[in-house]
Amino acid sequence: MKNKIIIFLILSLLFANVTFSQINKIQDTSVIISVVSDNRDTLYLSDTQIGHFIYESWNDVPKDKKPIIIFKNHSWILEKRFKQK
């Protein structure tokens, strides 16, 4: 009887682990700083220091290969990113 209880507990823990790993966890939203348009021709960047740093990194890319870059409020970026998922 004792072995059956131990096996039941182990199986319950394994099942719980698999179930909880599938739950969408809340992300750290400070790392979400960009959104790409569906056509991949526009890049929306958060109007923050890191967003401006990324903008400057596009300076060496030829104009015909780089997207249109638009700065938006961080809350707008988060809203659009969560809608894309």
For the chain, the domains span 2-25+32-84
pLDDT digits (tens, 9 = 90+) for 3-45: 777 777 776 766 665 555 545 555 677 788 999 998 999 999 9
The residues pairing with 36 across neighbouring beta strands, listed in sequence order, are: 43
Return the ∠ at Cα 76 (arms to 73 and 79), rounded to 5°: 155
DSSP annotation of 35 reads E
Does the pTM exceed 0.85? Answer: no
